[in-house]
Amino acid sequence: MKILYVSSEVVPFAKTGGLADVAGALPKALVQIGHDVRIILPRYKMVSLEKYPSKLIIEDLIIKFGTVNEKVNIYETKIPGTEVIVYLVDNDKFFGSRDQLYQVKGEDYPDNLERFVLFSKAVLVMLREINWQPHVIHCNDWQSALVCLYLKVTFGKDPFFARTASVYSIHNMAYMGIFPGDKFNLLDLPKEEFTPEKLEYWGNIALAKAGLVYADVINTVSETYAKEIQTTEFGYGLDGILRSRTKDVYGIVNGIDCDLWNPATDPIIAKHYNANTVSMKSANKLKLQADNKLPQDEKIPVLGIVSRLAKQKGFDILAQAFSQMMEMDLQFILLGDGEPQYQNFFVDAAKKYPKKLAINLGFNAALAQEIYAGSDLFLMPSHYEPCGLGQLISFRYGTIPLVRKTGGLADTVHEFDPKTGEGDGFIFERTTDPFDFLDAVKRALTAFQNKKAWESLQKKVMDYNYSWDTSAKKYVWLYKKALEKIGL
Ligand code: ADP
């Protein structure tokens, strides 16, 4: 099958969160099982054409939208170390000159609508130009949702696209791509597309609706989240549309790239280890403690977090319980990027607990790897979590997750029972009761004291197979469903 994978972020080129991990790994897994999968993403400033040797395959392709006429170049490169073809949409004004992907200093770029209309149109125009007709175009989140719409409404009239179906993956329902309704003319669409059944969202435009309404099939990244987004609590007002399409909505749990996330080969971490040599993990812990200026002590449990600093991730839940948690015998190391209110909270807290708390602000892929390898426990107190990759990466590094029971976390983490040895993590549920969270921390710390049982727990989770093999096959099945929907 020929598949074009459209994503606004892809590892290793550009990343803000889990979407990039998925976009860098799923296509690779699909190529390995014999499909022709190509990726397309914008060429941001950090996607250096020197670092990723690229050839210019189309120059000065004109893309029109609204009253704008922009030229884009299309470069072709590969995911390093693989044969997966990657197309880069190059336009200096909208992408190449931007330091970040979507925002700067916590503020969205004011022209994000223009940027992703340009990208979405360029995707379809360039396919015609290179004369490559994918069976399926797989779009991801609001940044590429318009491709699903254009494929049916405007470009859909072109026989070139008659045999191309679309899949829309929701990685996070809360990010809908909301823009002022008076910018609708930029989309070059008939007025009837701006109604509550289509793109309108309380007078604004919600780009995600282009995917929800027009994709042939829709999926999200865990089975639980596929059900949750069809409820008022998690649907953000779009649950009605999803319920009306419930037969087309699927859940496929994410995998992780087991080549990249591998403590036996990870080029960043201090000491390599595997399930049979998990005791060597402690060298990474000692290094992490030293790097973070915390006392080096194997016996003190280290709790790690690597996360976007956003309400979704449950930092308010953590804040309620924080002072009591910090009274316990533990160390806490955070790496996070995001909302200033959480940054301030942690910076203040770090002054209070210099021997127990280390705060690292910013996006830092290498430090993330060190935290996965060096921590004993990994915290994800999320309010909601479409899939969550942190817990899966933690498993791979023998780091035990402590999570809130929601979405993909509920699907992948099970409470550890010290009596039977069953389970693989620590779970709490209540968001407004700090003691529920604190209890889970206490259970974890007690379990950590039993060195032998802890090591068998680590070995067990390190042997889990969360590679993409199984989920990639499910995507092939999903692509076939999408093709059935267009009668193929
Ligand atoms: P989300 O996509 O909601 O941010 P996921 O758990 O699905 O959450 O994926 C997050 C991914 O981003 C993981 O690979 C995690 O290690 C990485 N990540 C998150 N924050 C940072 C950060 N500040 N620095 C480096 N990596 C980060």
One DSSP character per residue, 398-418 reads T-EEEEES-HHHHHH--B--T
Tell me what the mean pLDDT of segment 56-82 comes to: 97
Omega cis (within 30) before 12: yes
Residue 237 scores a pLDDT above 90: yes
Going by pLDDT thresholds of 50, 70 and 90, the confidence category of residue 129 is very high
The class level of CATH for 2-255+469-485 reads alpha beta
In 275-421 the beta strands, taken as DSSP E runs, fall at 302-309, 331-338, 357-361, 377-380, 400-404
Predicted pLDDT at 371: 98
Give 259 Cα–ligand 1 centroid separation in angstroms.
17
Q: How far apart are CA 440 and CA 68, in angstroms?
A: 55
Q: How far from 3 is each of 156, 166, 197, 312, 393, CA to CA, in Å?
A: 17, 10, 29, 32, 27
pLDDT band at 104 (very low <50, low <70, confident <90, very high): confident
Q: Is the pLDDT of residue 106 over 80?
A: no
CA of 487 to the centre of ligand 1 (A): 38
| C-beta 56 within 6 A of ligand 1 | no
| Percent with pLDDT over 70 in the chain | 100
- Does the pTM surpass 0.85? The reply is yes
Identical topology for domains 2-255+469-485 and 275-465: yes
Ligand 1 centroid distance, CA of 305 (Å)? 10
Mean pLDDT of 158-165: 97
Q: Which atom of ligand 1 is nearest to the CA of 362?
A: 23
Start-to-end CA distance of the chain, whole Å, equals: 12
Q: Which residue has the tokens 């989240």?
A: 225
Q: What is the DSSP letter of 125?
A: H
Q: What mean pLDDT is reported for the chain? A: 97
What is the number of alpha carbons within 13 Å of residue 330 lying toward its C-beta? 25
21 within ligand 1 shell (Cβ under 6 A) = yes
H/E element, 86:
strand 85-90
Q: Report phi then psi at 91, rounded to 5.
A: -150, 120
User: What is the pLDDT at residue 105?
Assistant: 79
Domain ranges of the chain: 2-255+469-485, 275-465
Single-letter amino acid, residue 311:
K
How much distance in Å is there from the Cα of 48 to the middle of ligand 1? 22
Percent of the chain with pLDDT over 90: 99
Residue 269: per-residue pLDDT: 98
pLDDT at residue number 450: 98
Nearest protein CA to atom 17 of ligand 1, as residue: 17
Each residue's pLDDT tens digit, 199-217: 999 999 999 999 999 999 9
Which atom of ligand 1 lies at the shortest distance from residue 372's CA?
Answer: 16
In CATH, what is the architecture of 275-465? 3-Layer(aba) Sandwich (3.40)
- The alpha carbon of 279 and the centre of ligand 1 are apart by a number of angstroms equal to 26
How confident is the model over 364-407, as pLDDT tens digits? 999 999 999 999 999 999 999 999 999 999 999 999 999 999 99
Using the predicted structure, report yes or no on whether residue 114 has a pLDDT greater than 90: yes
Query: What secondary structure letter does DSSP report for 425?
Result: B
Distance CA 209, CA 441 (A): 40
pLDDT single digits (tens) 8-55: 999 999 999 999 999 999 999 999 999 999 999 999 999 999 999 999
The one-character DSSP state at 140 is E
pLDDT at 167: 98
Spatial neighbors of 55 by CB under 8 A, at least 6 apart, are: 75, 76, 77
| Residue 18 Cβ contacting ligand 1 at under 6 Å | yes
Residue identifier of the C-alpha nearest atom 8 of ligand 1: 18
From the CA of 387, how far away is ligand 1's center (Å)?
A: 12
Average pLDDT value for residue range 82-101: 97
pLDDT band at 78 (very low <50, low <70, confident <90, very high): very high
Query: What's the CA gap between 335 and 328, in Å, rounded?
Result: 21
Comparing 375 with 106, the larger pLDDT belongs to 375
Ligand 1 atom showing the smallest separation from residue 385 Cα: 3
Give the tens place of pLDDT for each residue, 250-266.
999 999 999 999 999 99
The closest-lying atom of ligand 1 relative to the alpha carbon of residue 365 is 25
Task: Quickly list H helices, 171-296.
Answer: 208-214, 223-228, 232-235, 239-244, 281-291
